Chains A and B, each alone.
Chain A
Amino acid sequence: MNPLLRRRLLLGCSALCCIAGAWVAHAAPSAGIESLRYRQVLYAMYQEHYTQAQVELMAGKDRGDLNSSAEIELLNGVLLYGAGLPELAMQVLPQVLGHADVNSRISDLAWMHYAKAALSIGDQTGFQRGMVSVRDALPGQLEQERLFFRANQLIAEEKLDEAQRLLESMDGAQVWRAYATYNTGVACLLKKSVECGVDAMTSVADLANGTRENTVIRDKARVVLGFWYLQQNDPARALKYLRTVSLDGLYSGKAMLGVGWAYAAQEHYQDALRYWNELSRRDTLDVVTQEGLLASGFAYNKLKSNPLALMHYRQAASTYKDLQEVLDSGMAGLRSGEVLQWLPMSMDDKTLTKELTRLNQTPGKRPILRALGVPAVRDEYRRYRDIVATTSALQEWSEKFALYDEVLDDRVKRQRDRALVLREKVKSIRPDWLEQRFNVAQRTLITSDIAHDGLSFRTDNEERQLLRLQSIYERLSRVPANKLPPNVLERYSVLRGVLMWNIYTQADKRRKDYSEQLAEIEKELQGTKELWRRMELLGNVDQLPVAKLKKRVAQIRERLKAVSLRAHAVKVATGGRFTRQMSAELESERQHVAAYLAQAQYAMARLFDEATASGESQ
C-alpha cells in the first residue's frame, strides 16, 4: 500500500475512528438469554474492552446462548479487529455474506470493517476490495469514514477534482471533511498545484472553533500555510496564519518559531526575539525549541548585540550538550533493559496517560517519553504493552489452577462420601429380589387377564375356605349317596356358590388394586436400580463428570503452559524490536542535536573571528 496514503488515512482514523462508537446493531436478538448475552458483549465493546467482548461472544457461541447469524458474525469480525487481530477479522468478515439472514446493510458494514482491517495492516488490495464492495450509504459515523477513505483514495490516485467534488458533497461531521481537505491540500502542494493546495489549506485554516480534533487540524493547516508563505517570501501572509494558532495546542511551538522567522524576514528582530525567547523557555527536547535557541542568537547578532548573541549561542551549545548526555543515558537505559522496567505497561489509555504524565516530571526519562510520540515507536510500544498484558494474564490464569484443583478434589471427596451413604441405603434392598417379585406378579396379572380368571385374585382366607370346601367335597364324594345326610350336597353347593360369588364380585376391584401394587413394585424396582447404578458409578470415579472436568483442567493447564512459553518468547522479541526502534529514534534525535551544536559552535567561532577582526575584546 502507498505508505503516504496509509499514513494519511491512519492519521485521520486515529483521531476520529472508534470501533465501539461506530457500532450499530441491526438484527440484534430481541429476547431471552440470547439477547442478554448479546448485550453483555456490547457492554464490554462499548467500553472498548474488545478482548473481553470477543471472549464473551465466543463463550456465548460455545454455550449455545448465541446462535450463529449474520449479525453475530459481523460483531465477531469487528471485535477481532478491535482486539488486534485484523488478519483473522479479514477471514471472518466475508463469511458474514454466507449467512441466510444477511441483508445489504450487514453486508455493507462487513465490507467497511474489512476495508478498515486491511488498512491497518497496509493491505491495499484488501482495502480496495472492501471499499468497492460497500454499495449504499452506511449508518452514522461510518459513512463519514467511508467518504473520508474514498476521498483519500482519489487524492492518492491524483484525481484531485473528483476528490474535491466528493468532499463538497460530504455533509455531517465537519471534522472528517477537514481531514480529507487537508490531505487534498498536501497532495496539491506536493504536486506543485499551488492554487489548489492553498485553497484547500485555507478552507481548513479558516474553520471556526469547534471540537478538539477540529482545532488540531485547523492549527496544522495554519502552520503549513504559514511556512508555505514564508517559503514564498510573503511573511505578512505567513504571520496572518501563524499568529492565530492556539498557544496551548500541539502546533504552538512550530507556530512561534514561524512567527519569529516571519518577523525576521521583515527585519523586525525585536519582535522575532519576543517569540523565540518565549520558545526557548519551553521543552528543550522539542526540536522546535532547539531551533529557537539558535534563532535567538541569530536575532541578537542581527541586532548587532554580539555579546548577547554569544551568550545565547553559549546557552544553546550548553543545552545541546546536556541534551546529548540525556539522550546517551536514555540509549544506555534502553540497552540495559532498564527502560522496559520503568515504562508503564497499562493497556487502559486513561491510566497510561496519567502514569506517563507523572513520569514526565523526571528529566532523565523525558527523552524516552518524547520518543513515544513518534507514530512508529508508539505502535511498537502498544504492541509490546499488549504482549506484556497477555503474559501477565497468562500468569494470573496459571495461578487459578490451584483453586480449580481444590474445587475438584473437594467434589471428588463429596462424591465418595455420597457413595458411602448410598451403599448403606441400598444394602438391605436387592434389585434382583424385587425384580423376581415383580416378574411373578406381572405374570399373574397377565395370566388372569388371558383366562378371565377372577380366582387369581382370591385372598389367603378365601384360598383356605376353598381348600376346606374342596376337602369336604372329596370326603362327601367317598360316602354313598344313600348314606349322605339330607340336604348336605345342597348346603355344600350353597357355601361354594357364596364363596365363589364373593371372589368373582371382588375380582375387578382386586385386579385394579393388584395392578396398582404392581406399578408400585415397578417404581420401587426402578428406584433401587437407579440407586445401584449411581452407587456403582460413584464407585468408579473415572466415569464421573468430575473426572471429565479434571481431564479438561489438565488439558487446559498444558495448553496454558505451552502458550505461556510462546508468549514469553514473543515478549522478548517484541521488547527487542521496540527497544531498537526507540534507540534509532534517540540516535536520530542525537544527530539532530549534534548538528545544532555544530551550528552553535560555528556561530560562536564566527563571532570570535568577527570580534578579532574588528579588534574588539570579548
Chain B
Amino acid sequence: MRRIVRLLIVLIGAPMLVMQAAGAAEKLDAEIQSLKKDVLELNKDLLLLEEELLFPVNTQVTVFLSLDVGELFQLESVRITIDDKMVASQVYDTREIEALRRGGVQKIYIGNIKPGKHEVVAVFTGEGPQGRKYKRATNYVFEKPATPTYLELKVSDSISKQQPEFLVKQW
C-alpha cells in the first residue's frame, strides 16, 4: 500500500514539479522583458536629462558627420576644433564606415558655446582617388543663436571634379 502511495506521489508530483519549473522560467522571462523595457525608458529619460542639464539650449551645439557615397574618399579619421580648441576626434573602423555609407549619421560632438560668432574646423584624413593618402580641412564660421545649433559635416563625392567634397551645413 505504502509503495502504491509513493508511486502515486511520484506520478502526480513529478509533472507538477515540471510545471512549476516551467512557470518559474516563464515568470523570469517576463520579468526580464519588463525590466529591459523599464531600463530603456530610464535610459531615454537620463539621456534627455543629461542633455538638458549639461547642454542648455541657449549654449548647445551638436556636430554630426555624414558620408554621401564615399567612393572617391575612404574616410579614416576626423578631428574637429571649435574656436581653435579640439573638441572631438575619431578613427573609424569598418563597421562605422559601413554604417555611415549606408546613410547613418554620427553625432560626433555635443557641447556648449556662447551665443555669437564661432568657427568650426574639421580635418579629414583617409584615402583619396587612386588610393592616395588624403588630408583635407574645411572651416565654417557660424552665428550661434540662443537656440540649439546643429552642424552637419558632410563628405560627398563630386562626380564632375572627380574629387571628394567636404561641406558644413548649419541646420
A: residues with CB less than 8 A from B are 25, 28, 32-33, 36, 39-40, 42-47, 51, 54-56, 58-59, 62-63, 83-85, 87-88, 383, 386-387, 390, 393-394, 397, 400, 404, 407-408, 549, 552-553, 556, 559-560, 563, 566-567, 570, 573-574, 577
Contact = CB atoms under 8 A, between A and B. Distances in A.
Given A42-B102, A407-B53, 4 more contacts: A40-B107, A43-B105, A44-B99, A390-B39
Nearest to B148: A33
Given A39-B103, A46-B102, A407-B54, A556 B46 contact: yes
B114 interface: no
B49 interface: yes
A279 B85 CA distance: 62
A46 B44 contact: no
Interface string B16-34: 0000000001001001110
B35 interface: yes
B98 interface: yes
B53 A408 contact: yes
A36 B106 CA distance: 9
Contacts of A87: 33
A553 B54 CA distance: 13
Contacts of B105: 36, 39-40, 42-43
B40 A58 contact: yes
Contacts of A553: 49, 53
Nearest to B27: A573
A211 B43 CA distance: 39
B103 A47 contact: no
Given A25-B103, A32-B171, A407-B54, A556 B42 contact: yes
A556 B104 contact: no
Contact of A33 (B36, B53, B150): B150
B103 A36 contact: no
Given A397-B46, A574-B32, A40 B106 contact: yes
B75 to A, nearest CB: 14
A590 to B, nearest CB: 22
Contacts of A393: 39, 43
Nearest to B105: A39
Contacts of A407: 53-54
A570 B106 contact: no
Contacts of A39: 66, 103-105
A570 B33 contact: no
Contacts of B102: 42, 46
Given A42-B105, A43-B104, A549-B52, A51 B40 contact: yes
A573 B28 contact: yes
**3 tightest A-B contacts by CB?**
A43-B104, A46-B99, A39-B105
Interface in B48-62: 48-50, 52-54
B37 interface: yes
Interface in B79-112: 95-96, 98-100, 102-107
B64 interface: yes
B152 interface: yes
Contact of A36 (B43, B48, B50, B171): B171
B119 interface: no
A350 B161 CA distance: 39
B90 to A, nearest CB: 13
A83 B64 CA distance: 24
B143 interface: no
Interface in B146-163: 150, 152
Given A85-B36, A387-B32, A400-B50, A42 B25 contact: no
Contacts of B95: 47
A556 B32 CA distance: 20
Nearest to A576: B28
B14 interface: no
Contacts of A560: 42, 46
A380 to B, nearest CB: 10
A433 B171 CA distance: 46
Contacts of B53: 404, 407-408, 549, 553
A63 B64 CA distance: 17
A560 B45 CA distance: 11
B9 to A, nearest CB: 24
Contacts of B7: none
Contacts of B48: 59, 62-63
Contacts of A387: 32, 35
A40 B28 contact: no
Contact of A552 (B33, B49, B171): B49
Contacts of B99: 42-44, 46-47
A522 to B, nearest CB: 25
A563 B31 contact: no
7 contacts: A39-B105, A85-B36, A393-B39, A559-B38, A559-B42, A559-B45, A573-B31
A36 B150 CA distance: 9
A556 B171 contact: no
A570 B32 contact: yes
